[in-house]
Structure 1
Amino acid sequence: MHNDDLSRFFSENMAVDGELSFQQWEGKVLDFAQRVSRGNCKGLALVSSGGTSVPLEMNAVRFVTNFSTGSRGAGLVEDLVVREWACILLHSESAQLPFRRVMDNMDTERFFTELMAPEKSSAVASIVGTYSKYKTRLLLVPYRTVVDYLYLLRLITVAVCHRAECLRTMPMVLLAAAAVSDYFIPRTLLSEHKISSNDGMTVHFSCVPKVLNVLSDIWHTADCDVSRLFVTFKLETHDEMLETKALKNLTLYNCDLVVANKLQEYKERVVMYWRDTPGSPTVLQRPPNGSIESLIVDCILRRIECDATGGGRS
């Protein structure tokens, strides 16, 4: 797909008022870029996280959702901001959010106990303190549907790569960790109102356009002399299929890195396929008292530091 084809896809599948409301985010992203560029940030990360929904009606009541908790993206952002990176998190409305997820994951009894306690527990006090310290380095951008997601992802990518002059000397990484729907229903075929539940339903879906190559071109053609990494994530349920598709994505979408994992062990183990050494992937295993996201960030920041010092890639 080319950029012009993607623009046509948006014009055919977005309401005019929806597109206008999303355009406000360009100004917010540029303001955020100005602010963090004047601070002591070591780089900027654009992270996408969570699932994507496909509405079955224009006035949508029913959706088909590619589900994801968003824990991967939230963990990556938490780890990046404490390492003095600024983060733009493009997240589904239902995704876990950085730092806040600690409270969201509590059961009801503990949540209200924490809420009513005169003094917070050490775990909650620590996370509140960390959030308060680093919240100015974080911009949250919500979305609901797969069309919303693709539109905002392109808008933000163009803004940080080609319109934010203040970022030209700052390393950047795009971490596309959202679970993107493969299928959708074109707007012209949607029922305007709620579909009747009196009868069975047969639905025909069209393929969602593959946009990673467009985004990769935008990311890699930015006029800068610093590291710009384009990272995608691949989830499968079978080892052989996982490796095959991860290697395919490296070439097909011109990725610098594909982070691959099986659904059954996504919190425990990932395999890192770098574009320059595809035949020698790096396996990361979660340590007993750490997170797999922290190891992923370690690998990426080491690569960026290596690029900056001219030490070659390893």
Structure 2
Amino acid sequence: MDTENRTETLEAQVKAFFDSAPPLHNSHEITQKLNQFIQRNSSSSENGEARRIVCVTSGGTTAPLEQRCVRYVDNFSSGHRGATSTEYFLKAGYAVIFLYRRGSFQPFCRSLPEDPLLECFEPTNDLNIQVRKDYSKAVKSAIVDHHIAVAGGHLLKLPFSTIFEYLQMLQIIGTSTRCIGPRAMFYLAAAVSDYYVPWKDMVEHKIQSGSHLLDVKLVQVPKMLSVLRKDWAPLAFCVSFKVLMVFVRH
């Protein structure tokens, strides 16, 4: 009975979350890209077998405090683990759906400086620029590897910012990959918000700063991993991570 009650409670929480979420503006486009990507990588590869497809999530989600968002609660993650893992999955022959936070670390950029556009290039005259000699090898490698993955149809990049975008897109990816069964994998390296403000409870515009105290009511984000494994992609292999806190005593 307790298990049934917990299941019903989770289902109600999941329904409440998606009912409250602002709809994705480009959900049709995302679904179309996913279907094309899955179909392309479901045909036989060089070894005569269809590629395995992994969804790598990367970076952290935000929980907006206003509908026209100015303030938000941010789950920080550089995205280094997800981006680096994407490179290794591609090298291992996987096709990768890279679901990443806008502005987070990108695949093939480990050898580049923090601001590659401004640091890796230099002007040669008033009209042209060139790669600085110190970075020429790293820039060429990053561009070539990225081009091969994307042009070859083995890397699909989908950006998100908010917890609403992330979970709606994860749901679309899960249901879209259900058709390939155990050839699908989810490598969940994103730092996902634990709490959020339901859309209907948010103020529309910027919260005014006249008061000394700000009282915000946050609701727990439903645990979607079990929903992913049970409903969205029941045959997929799932890998998730817990935040490791290390305390050092002096």
What are the superposed Cα offsets for residues 106-159 of structure 1, whole Å, 9 maximum, x if unpaired? Answer: 567632249623876222222222222222211111111112111111111111
1:93-242 equivalent positions in 2, closer than 5 A: 93-100=102-109, 102-103=111-112, 105-106=114-115, 110-113=119-122, 116-117=130-131, 121-135=136-150, 136-162=153-179, 167-168=180-181, 171-200=183-212, 201-218=214-231, 221-222=234-235, 228-238=236-246
For 1:44-123, what aligned pairs fall within 5 Å after superposition?
Answer: 44-100=53-109, 102-103=111-112, 105-106=114-115, 110-113=119-122, 116-117=130-131, 121-123=136-138
TM-score (norm 1): 0.65
Residue 57 of structure 1 contacts residue 190 of structure 1 at CA under 8 Å; is this kept in 2?
yes
Equivalent residue of 2:223, what SS?
Answer: coil
Aligned equivalents of 1:237 and 1:129: distance in 2? 37
Cα RMSD, aligned residues only:
2.6
Q: 2:16 is matched by which residue type in structure 1? A: R
Deviation at 1:235, TM superposition (A): 1.1
Count of residue pairs the alignment pairs up: 227
Name structure 2 gaps, 5 residues minimum: 1-6, 124-128
Structure 2 partner of 1:302: none
8 Å CA contact retained: 2:41, 2:95: yes
Distance in 2 (alpha carbons) for counterparts of 1:20 and 1:128 = 30
Equivalent residues of 1:82, 1:134 under 8 A apart: no
User: 1:139 and 1:4 mapped to 2: Cα distance?
Assistant: 32
On the 8 A contact 1:45/1:174 being kept in 2, the answer is yes
Shift of 1:96: 1.2
SS in 2 for 1:235: coil
**Counterpart contact for 1:99–1:127, Cα < 8 Å:** yes
Q: TM-score, normalised by structure 2?
A: 0.80
Q: Indicate conservation of the 8 Å contact 1:219/1:230, yes or no.
A: no
Shift of 1:101: 5.6
Deviations 1:60-107 (A, max 9, x none): 111110110111100011111122210001111121121246446256
Aligned 8 A contact 1:66 1:181 in 2: yes
C-alpha change, 1:113 and 1:3, in structure 2 (3 Å) is: farther
Larger RCO (CA under 8 A, 6+ residues apart): 2
AA aligned to 1:236 is L
1:39 positional shift: 5.3
* Separation of aligned partners in 2, 1:107 and 1:32: 29
Give secondary structure in 2 for the equivalent of 1:140: strand
Long gaps (5+) in structure 1: 223-227, 240-263, 265-314
